[in-house]
Amino acid sequence: MKPQQISTQKFAEHYGYQASQTVFAPGRVNIIGEHTDYNDGFVMPCAINYGMAVSFSKRDDSIWRVYAIDIEQHDEFDLSQPIEPSKHKWANYVRGVVKYIQAKYPEFKQGADLAMASDVPMSSGLSSSAALEISIGKTAQLLGELPLNLTEIALIGQEAENKFVGANCGNMDQLTSALGQKDQLIMIDCRSLAITPTPVPQGYSIAIINSNVKHDLVTGEYNSRRKECEFAAQFFGVKALRDVTPEQFIERAHELQRENQLAYQRAKHVISENHRVLEAVKALKANDMQKLGQLMAESHNSMRDDFEITIPEIDYLVELAQVAISKNGGARMTGGGFGGCIVCLVPNDKVEHLRQIIAENYEKQTGIKETFHLCTACDGVHLV
């Protein structure tokens, strides 16, 4: 059953009446452009056909009752009181979004009953949390008939995650969940927030393979990468690494390396990755899938060697996938890193071969069974 069917059905069972509306917000997969968003750079993700569904109805008071179906937990808070953190992490995504909507629209106090269900695997780099934030943002916008556009909903989601949940993420995941487009990869300029859609290449599928390795130290590693990038931006005297061209980087690379080896490596990744995203757009436009595959491979190597966010299981999955896909199309790790998923752009007639090669080798080598998902590029948050 799809999440929207589950949330509708469970809403009725749980509250004893029918939900008036259901919203669906997708997760995302990033094709190329990793750890560039918080450097004001470029990314090229798409929204996927896995996401969070929220069924809801207005109440005639200011209470929100929230039922998280998948984990059988509840939250309740009053919009006419200051919104405080909950002891449940998932509930803080909900409360945080409502809090920052109220910061913009203090008159928003509309109570509601909500039931939510998701099929985005958690902690695997597919943005289950952004799907939650954006589904709640859209729900609140509809409940209060607020004049919020999708970009604003995305930025409120990011603000909630940064300030209320305490994860210092960039803006890619929320923008993609809000503004994804059917059958399109969306290149986002994370500074101007301009979006350039490029069709998913004809005859190709998007495969996501979950290593099923979850990492506990992700937040600390993520924050230290951000600091190292900030150090490098200061070294170059710019607002963000987006403002350093590959040529400018090469000119002062040795100097930076002497001063701070890690900042050098992180900057090398970010600056080259921004360039690869722009090259990837050109390759897609020219239908040059060999070039796109090379760019994905370079991106992976750069994450492995310079940004140091891959793990052996993920490197192995990428190697297997690259062999299976061969020249046209490619594979790389996707998302924040330290586990999670790889993404593949694979010719339709090689999908089964890819699935088989991974099934035959990955578990044998690592002792962990992978999960294989075929995805389609989807629209961002919408009513169902």
**CB of residue 31 vs ligand GLA: minimum separation in angstroms?**
11
Nearest-angstrom CA–CA distance, 63 and 78: 4
Catalytic: which of 37, 75, 119, 173? 173
**CB of residue 287 vs ligand GLA: minimum separation in angstroms?**
26
CB atoms within 10 A of CB 327: 11
Nearest-angstrom CA–CA distance, 317 and 13: 42
**CB of residue 216 vs ligand GLA: minimum separation in angstroms?**
16
By C-beta, is 336 or 339 nearer to ligand GLA? 336
CA distances (Å), 179 to each of 51, 137, 321, 373, 379, in order? 14, 13, 29, 22, 7
Structure tokens at 258: 């002497």
Nearest-angstrom CA–CA distance, 373 and 76: 34
By C-beta, is 34 or 113 nearer to ligand GLA? 34
Nearest-angstrom CA–CA distance, 261 and 252: 13
Nearest-angstrom CA–CA distance, 198 and 324: 25
Which DSSP category does 121 fall into? P
Under a CB-based contact definition with an 8 Å cutoff, are residues 358 and 346 in contact?
no
**CB of residue 125 vs ligand GLA: minimum separation in angstroms?**
6
By C-beta, is 159 or 173 nearer to ligand GLA? 173
Nearest-angstrom CA–CA distance, 58 and 64: 9
Under a CB-based contact definition with an 8 Å cutoff, are residues 179 and 380 in contact?
yes
Query: Mapping DSSP to helix (H, G, I), strand (E, B) and coil, where does residue 110 land?
Result: coil
By C-beta, is 304 or 350 nearer to ligand GLA? 304
By C-beta, is 37 or 75 nearer to ligand GLA? 37
By C-beta, is 86 or 127 nearer to ligand GLA? 127
By C-beta, is 113 or 173 nearer to ligand GLA? 173
Looking only at the bridges linking them, the beta strands covering 73-78 and 112-118 are unpaired
**Torsion angle in degrees (nearest 10) through CA of 340, 165, 50, 285:** -70
Looking only at the bridges linking them, the beta strands covering 21-32 and 382-383 are antiparallel
Nearest-angstrom CA–CA distance, 264 and 286: 33
For residue 257, the surrounding DSSP H or E stretch is: helix 246-259
Closest CA to 151 of 124, 114, 120, 188: 188
For residue 177, the surrounding DSSP H or E stretch is: helix 172-179
**CB of residue 272 vs ligand GLA: minimum separation in angstroms?**
14
**CB of residue 170 vs ligand GLA: minimum separation in angstroms?**
3
Interface residues with ligand GLA (CB under 6 A) are 34-35, 37-38, 169-170, 172-173, 335-336
By C-beta, is 150 or 324 nearer to ligand GLA? 150
- Tell me if residue 78 is catalytic: no
Under a CB-based contact definition with an 8 Å cutoff, are residues 161 and 9 in contact?
no
**CB of residue 35 vs ligand GLA: minimum separation in angstroms?**
5
**CB of residue 144 vs ligand GLA: minimum separation in angstroms?**
27
Report, as residue numbers or ranges, the catalytic residues: 173
